[in-house]
Structure 1
Amino acid sequence: MTDTPPPSAPPTSPPPSAPIKRSLLDRFPALARITDKVGAREIPYISQLEYSDCGAACLTMVLHFHGKEVPLSAVRSSINVTRDGVTARAIVDGAGRFGLFARGIKVDVPQVEMLPRGTILHWEFNHFVVFDRVLRGGKLLIVDPAVGTRELSVEEFRQKFTGVAIEVKPTTAFAKEKSKDGNARPYLRELFNESSLLTKIIVVSLVLRLLAMILPLITGRVIDQVVPRSDYSLLWVLIGAIVGMVLFEALGGMIRSHLMIHLRTLLDAKLTLGFLDHMVALPIGFFQKRSSGDLMMRVGSNATMREVVTSQTLSAIIDGVFVLLYAVVIMWVNMAMGLVAMGLALLPGLIYLAARSRNMRLMSEDLDRQAKSQSYLVQLLGGMETLKTAGAERIAVEKWSSLYADVMNVGLRRGRLTAVIDALRTTVAQLSPMIILAVGTNAVMKKQISLGDMLAMNSLAMSLFGPLSQLIESLLQMQLLKGYAGRIDDVMKTPAEQDRDKVKPPPRLRGELALKDVSFRYAPDRPWVLQHVSLDIPVGAKVALVGPSGSGKSTLLHLLAGTLVPSAGKIFYDGVNVHEYDLQAVRQQLGMVPQHPFVFGSSIRENIALTVPDASLDKIRTAAKMAALVDDINAMPLGFDTPISDGGASLSGGQRQRIAIARAVLREPRVLLFDEATSALDNATEAQIVANLRHLGCTQITVAHRLSTVQNYDLIVVMENGQVVEQGNHAALMAKQGTYHKLVLASQGNSPAMAAPSPASKEAAGAKPAAQPARR
């Protein structure tokens, strides 16, 4: 996604210090059409993992195409992707950091065929795609990070291409590298950490396979020794041995299943909980750029990874041992039979290998489609009230059906590929016994082996097919896990909000806050949201942040809560830089009510006691009184135990806000932060809550939407365009007749009623404000 229209003059990186590598195709790009389907190196499809990721995903595809397999997360960090996307300028600069020379160019559609493969195209004024080549039929092939490979007619291409492209070429300083991410190593590490359990499973499995291997040898002895001699005593011994082995095999299979269930449960607990523990420790910006449905899929991907790794790894170890053992025994008896059996057993593996690339691409596309479908489904269900009141539920279902159809289409393409593979495997499986029987029969007729040995080796050869085919499939399945691993790595490789080993726990805070020349923006190439804000807030002060929408009030509140980090300047709590403390522990001493508080699907009691689970009912009731909520709760049939649906759909907006206020008050915070926390309340209820909170004795900072409620605050901070333009109490600011005075008049419909301060206010106007004005 791009957050700005294409520049009038396309960006160009400075001339590279290293010369540009130039091939024949670089000099004559039209030659790329000759390699349409024969020997053309594919531009790998790398899905954007979030809406704003398209520019980073395109540059990652280009890097992989040229041989530098860096993860998407590294590229995203390099080009400073924000929640609004990325600019063409940022892509050009980011390409240079990876050893590529990039320049922005203007291109007409007829000239596109002259572009080198791997050129990034600006698409539909809000997106980026990668140009691959012009196909022989005249269609243009692109790789879209949102949907995968697409073939477009010239007319379709013309409608979407903006005429701006970023040409990318490697310099001599460009170094190829293989990917070290997106693999199953962390899961294998956890698997091998359970060495005791793993050893038991492997031993039991080996014993079971040995028993299966002995049965054909016994059959051979029956034919060669029992039948010719009519030796009934030996026959009953061998039958007893076979029955004993079958019973032992059943018992061993049951033991193995119990051990496997235990291992999977342990790995599930460790991997999924570890993943979730790391994810919740990430900065809030990570969650703002990703949908809930996509993150839910990533949590579920851990179970898929665990299932494949446990079953396929164990299978690979055991099957590898027995493939070698089977091959040695067969070749020792008859070399020709052994070589033929090995060749036939390898054929299914070669079939898998031939389809590997397409299978991986389809699986990656499938995951992407499922994530989009599930994300929208979560939104659809969560926004049902809005959809119903707007009469738009059918429109929403139609949109989801389109996304679901994409999932089904990819599933169909994967199904067709699987059907071809299965048909080839079945053909090999049906022909193999006859070929081996023919080779074995020939050896018997030439007196090279006995009939019993031939039948035993034939049975062993058939047994060889299963382990060898399974071994190859296991190795390929673990390669196919790259799509799952990439999505999990995107979370696990993102640094946590803080390294908690490098910060200290805060003491009991007093509530004194200070901002020293604080500025903030979301990325180095983005506009400033806040600039040079300095404030001193004493212990117990009641502070209001006022100003027009977009002036930076909510951003300032999030900086105080530590959910955003200043781009410049520092924030102090009780004289100590807040980022020297463990922020999670700091927030446990704060009470913040956001603009849109979330209510969980449990009871009212549990929602209020969310941060203090062991709070008594008396304390919960007191907090509810402070939030003017007790009368509402008493009117409910089950009182504090009244169940609430997910998101609080059964509650009014005002009730949800008051539950959040009670939740914040219950923990007895040292600092209260309200981000328009009473916007859904009537004036009387809001005034009651403000009066109740005044007696708390803690520092309170409120983003106010009604100026009538802040007249008695100790300090009113007036913000405009990300700067503090005025600060003081109500009387002092009204006497100045500046920005605050205009806001008050505008809020009263230009009424001068509030413009004339009372005598008490005039006296207060001469008082020294609680904090000095910000200076630049």
Structure 2
Amino acid sequence: MNTFSKQIQEKKANDARILDKVSRRIYEPLQTKKESIGQNDGFMERTASELSDICLFFGISNVEFPSGMQDAESLMQFMMSESGILRRKVVLTKNWWKDGVTPLLCSDIHGNAVALLPAGGGGYQYHADGKTIAVTQNNAGQFLNACYCFYQPMPNTGMTTKDFIHFLCKSFQSSDVIWLLSISLLAGLLGLIMPKLNQFIFHSVVPSGTSKELFGIGVLIVGTVFMQAFCQLARAMWVMRIGNKMELLTVSGIWSRVLSLPVRFFEDYSSGELSDRAGAVNTICAILGGQLVPTLLSTIFSVVYLFEIRSISPTLLGPSLVIVLCIVAVNLAVTYLQMKQTAHNNHVESRLSGMVFELLGGITKIKAAGAETRAFEKWAKVYSEKKQIPNGLLLCSEALNAAMTFGGTILLYRTAFLAEMSASDYIAFHTAFGLITAAVMAMLSISAQLAALKPALEMLKPILEAEPENDGYRNQVTSLTGDIDVNQVKFRYQKNLPYVLNGLNLHIEPGDYIGIVGSSGCGKSTLMRILLGFEKPESGSVYYDMQDMNGLDLRTLRRRIGVVPQNGKLFSGDIYSNIVICAPWLSVDEAWEAAERSGFAEDIKQMPMGMFTMLSEGGGGLSGGQKQRLLIARALAGDPDLIMFDEATSALDNITQELVVKTLENMTCTRIVIAHRLSTIRNCSRIIYMHQGKIVESGTYEELMQLDGKFAKMAERQLV
């Protein structure tokens, strides 16, 4: 029996090794490594120069890379913090050079960094030896497939709708505008041929009874039709290309802006509502990058048909204008009403999405409380606001259009009859009038899209108007000693509420192991939020390494801090990606090391796919203690200069907690631990007891127990 059990254990271990090996093969090509762009002599200078070219492409000229950086990753990280330019690692696919949309930073076969910039007419180009060289099939093979793709940043300030439209315009170049205008004008001029041909046929060919001109006329008609079809196809392809560029630019820009907004912004909106507001950019791109632009251009250039009508029959020009203007007026009124209704529906939809998200997220609590009926009532109350009866003009707009078309036809017939027009002239006029009417009706047919444009911009406005956390001109943090000064900090969440922190002073030396305790509501978690820059003090200052926090780049500051918040969340994905999400360059072995230090490694080994076991959003399938251990592993993975734990060990068993505490004790960086459990902070070099937003006691465990104050009373309750 022992031999058989041993064989089973060996088989399990062998299966685990095979699975880990296969998983590595699958995931290693997708991992971001610092060595993805090779290094050689002069590599850093060349890379900095190429990144400067990318910045200039985006219109950013004030980025100066400091000396002393060790790798391309550091350079790109500096560029992102200074300019807001985003990047991601991509793999070049077949024929990648044919359509240049965003700049790329590649490495050639010699290990040199090369910036590939989108060319004016499509494709890519790069600079070498003072020349601009186009990337073609002949030279594309000299670039390695793994490279970085960069995206246009939005301004680091609050934006108006006008600013956003200006940002949208960056998605196309002047050559795109000239091409679209030219092709639309050509299509309009080609439309002038058909009325004249009809006039000639019914004025000369039909009365003469001869057929010798018909072949030439037929060739001209077929050629005209083919040319118009070609113009429409070329225009549609060009608009689609611009639309794709616009969507790539704006969607990435908006989501980057959402991620750069301060934490307080997210407290005003539910997740569902914020998702709808950010998703409004997709509606804007679909409208502007769809049929709106070509249809608008066709309508504008259809004005040439009015001159043709005037040349055919000046008498019918006035009635034609009256009919077209009446149709436009009615449909503009309909569009305005649709716009108001769409704005109302968008507002209700965003509230409804947020409510549905909250109800589904709390479905277990709803069922446990037997509150299904009340939950449905809450949903139905909001949903009923969406189902309002539309305005009467919206209901009868189709009938009005039909009536105007019929009345206009009668008016034209009567005017033509009184003017004693010939059949050939009327047929030519009717052809030209039909073309301009078709262009106008095509424009009006997309009125629903126009009606959705302004409400979509209104949905996006709170995101645009909010000020990002960083203004792009702060000092970047490359390392921390752990020296922290909190000087006379006062903070409250609203003006009419009492202070949560009231004149708090605190100095932390490099390498200190600080435990913060106190009753609920005394300001412990608020202090941590201020140290992380999530909240701004009403007065007072926070200093890191003797530098005012207001002058530091918060992204790079937080990157040097390992944090386990009170209500930390896990992301949908595998365990490995959850551990290295803040340090994506870490290998699988380094992720295992972080898991060992957090006491989570044994749990991972028992899972079906080990480090690559998939987790649902929120860490479904993991116990509360396992989630906390995974969050601790994430905080320790990046080898931070400063560690902050906020009730990070509250759900751990005693054995795991002892392992985590020993790990913290053996670390040399500054550690700040908020806890209620005495065993977590007992061996801290200094324990701080907070009460009503102030530090009332401070010292080692033994000193505070001898003081016999508030901390001692709290400790006695736990010891008993």
**TM-score of the two chains, using structure 2 as the length reference:** 0.73
Amino acid corresponding to residue 652 of structure 2 in structure 1:
L
1:632 pairs, out of 603, 613, 624, with 603
Amino acid corresponding to residue 504 of structure 1 in structure 2:
N
Tell me the residue number matched to 2:359: 380
| 1:187/1:309 contact within 8 Å kept | no
Q: 1:184 to 1:203 in 2, by over 3 A?
A: farther
| 2:486/2:507 contact within 8 Å kept | yes
- In 2, Cα distance between equivalents of 1:349 and 1:651: 61
2:185 pairs, out of 172, 184, 206, with 206
Q: Which ranges of structure 1 fall in alignment gaps of 5 or more residues?
A: 1-179, 752-776
Tell me the residue number matched to 1:458: 430
1:541 pairs, out of 512, 518, 526, with 512
Q: How does 1:725-740 map to 2 (within 5 A)?
A: 725-740=696-711
- In 1, Cα distance between equivalents of 2:207 and 2:171: 51
Tell me the residue number matched to 1:517: 488
Tell me the residue number matched to 2:639: 668
Deviation at 1:269, TM superposition (A): 0.8
Q: 1:672 to 1:295 in 2, by over 3 A?
A: same
Is 1:413 the counterpart of 2:385 in the alignment? Answer: no
Query: Secondary structure of the equivalent of 2:570?
Result: coil
- In 2, Cα distance between equivalents of 1:385 and 1:258: 50
Amino acid corresponding to residue 453 of structure 2 in structure 1:
L
Amino acid corresponding to residue 462 of structure 1 in structure 2:
G
Amino acid corresponding to residue 556 of structure 2 in structure 1:
A
- In 1, Cα distance between equivalents of 2:334 and 2:450: 14
Q: How does 1:414-429 map to 2 (within 5 A)?
A: 417-429=393-405
- In 2, Cα distance between equivalents of 1:711 and 1:693: 12
| 1:553/1:719 contact within 8 Å kept | yes
Q: 1:389 to 1:651 in 2, by over 3 A?
A: farther
Amino acid corresponding to residue 461 of structure 2 in structure 1:
D
Tell me the residue number matched to 2:458: 486
Tell me the residue number matched to 1:312: 292
Tell me the residue number matched to 2:251: 272
- In 2, Cα distance between equivalents of 1:688 and 1:268: 49
Amino acid corresponding to residue 266 of structure 2 in structure 1:
F
Is 1:441 the counterpart of 2:417 in the alignment? Answer: yes
Is 1:499 the counterpart of 2:471 in the alignment? Answer: yes
| 1:382/1:647 contact within 8 Å kept | no
Query: Secondary structure of the equivalent of 2:614?
Result: coil
Deviation at 1:715, TM superposition (A): 1.2
Tell me the residue number matched to 1:619: 590
Tell me the residue number matched to 2:176: 197
| 1:518/1:530 contact within 8 Å kept | yes
| 1:672/1:698 contact within 8 Å kept | yes
- In 2, Cα distance between equivalents of 1:216 and 1:395: 67
Amino acid corresponding to residue 375 of structure 1 in structure 2:
G
Tell me the residue number matched to 2:407: 431
Deviations along 1:415-434, one digit per CA (max 9) or x if unpaired, are x6533222212322333333
Amino acid corresponding to residue 570 of structure 1 in structure 2:
S
| 1:331/1:338 contact within 8 Å kept | yes
- In 2, Cα distance between equivalents of 1:214 and 1:645: 63
Tell me the residue number matched to 1:78: none
| 2:342/2:455 contact within 8 Å kept | yes
Deviations along 1:375-434, one digit per CA (max 9) or x if unpaired, are 122223434454455565665455434433433x04x527x6533222212322333333
Q: How does 1:534-683 map to 2 (within 5 A)?
A: 534-683=505-654
- In 1, Cα distance between equivalents of 2:338 and 2:163: 18
Amino acid corresponding to residue 292 of structure 1 in structure 2:
S
Deviations along 1:599-636, one digit per CA (max 9) or x if unpaired, are 11110011101011121111100100111111111111
Is 1:258 the counterpart of 2:234 in the alignment? Answer: no
Tell me the residue number matched to 1:329: 308
Deviation at 1:252, TM superposition (A): 2.6
Deviation at 1:305, TM superposition (A): 1.6
Deviation at 1:185, TM superposition (A): 6.3
- In 1, Cα distance between equivalents of 2:368 and 2:648: 24
Tell me the residue number matched to 1:225: 204
| 1:546/1:719 contact within 8 Å kept | yes
Amino acid corresponding to residue 258 of structure 1 in structure 2:
M
Q: 1:393 to 1:200 in 2, by over 3 A?
A: farther
Amino acid corresponding to residue 461 of structure 1 in structure 2:
F
Amino acid corresponding to residue 288 of structure 1 in structure 2:
E
Moved more, 661-670 or 383-392: 383-392
2:215 pairs, out of 222, 236, 243, with 236
Amino acid corresponding to residue 698 of structure 2 in structure 1:
Q
Deviations along 1:649-704, one digit per CA (max 9) or x if unpaired, are 22222222211110110000111111111222223322221112221221111110
- In 2, Cα distance between equivalents of 1:361 and 1:396: 29
- In 2, Cα distance between equivalents of 1:423 and 1:458: 23
- In 1, Cα distance between equivalents of 2:680 and 2:164: 58
Tell me the residue number matched to 1:129: none
Query: Secondary structure of the equivalent of 2:586?
Result: coil
Deviation at 1:558, TM superposition (A): 0.9
Deviations along 1:260-291, one digit per CA (max 9) or x if unpaired, are 11111000011111112222111110012211
**TM-score of the two chains, using structure 1 as the length reference:** 0.68
Deviation at 1:245, TM superposition (A): 1.8
Deviations along 1:120-165, one digit per CA (max 9) or x if unpaired, are xxxxxxxxxxxxxxxxxxxxxxxxxxxxxxxxxxxxxxxxxxxxxx
Deviation at 1:472, TM superposition (A): 6.9
Q: 1:684 to 1:385 in 2, by over 3 A?
A: farther
Relative contact order, higher structure (CA 8 A, sep 6+)? 2
Amino acid corresponding to residue 494 of structure 1 in structure 2:
A
Tell me the residue number matched to 2:341: 362
Query: Secondary structure of the equivalent of 1:648?
Result: coil
Deviations along 1:460-485, one digit per CA (max 9) or x if unpaired, are 11222233455578799657633221
Deviations along 1:241-267, one digit per CA (max 9) or x if unpaired, are 111222222333222221111111000
- In 2, Cα distance between equivalents of 1:479 and 1:389: 44
Query: Secondary structure of the equivalent of 1:289?
Result: coil
Tell me the residue number matched to 2:318: 339
Deviations along 1:350-390, one digit per CA (max 9) or x if unpaired, are 21344455433322211111101111222234344544555
Deviations along 1:174-209, one digit per CA (max 9) or x if unpaired, are xxxxxx955696168516843222322332233223
Q: How does 1:43-82 map to 2 (within 5 A)?
A: none
Aligned residue pairs: how many? 561
The CA RMSD over aligned residues, in Å, is 2.5
| 1:544/1:713 contact within 8 Å kept | yes
Q: 1:507 to 1:605 in 2, by over 3 A?
A: closer
Query: Secondary structure of the equivalent of 1:413?
Result: coil
Q: 1:191 to 1:345 in 2, by over 3 A?
A: farther
- In 1, Cα distance between equivalents of 2:372 and 2:618: 19
Query: Secondary structure of the equivalent of 2:650?
Result: coil
Amino acid corresponding to residue 249 of structure 2 in structure 1:
K
- In 1, Cα distance between equivalents of 2:632 and 2:539: 31
Amino acid corresponding to residue 665 of structure 2 in structure 1:
R
Q: Which ranges of structure 2 fall in alignment gaps of 5 or more residues?
A: 1-158
Query: Secondary structure of the equivalent of 2:608?
Result: coil
- In 1, Cα distance between equivalents of 2:239 and 2:332: 29
- In 2, Cα distance between equivalents of 1:690 and 1:293: 38
Amino acid corresponding to residue 567 of structure 1 in structure 2:
E
Deviations along 1:416-461, one digit per CA (max 9) or x if unpaired, are 6533222212322333333323322332x2xxx4321111112211
Amino acid corresponding to residue 621 of structure 2 in structure 1:
S
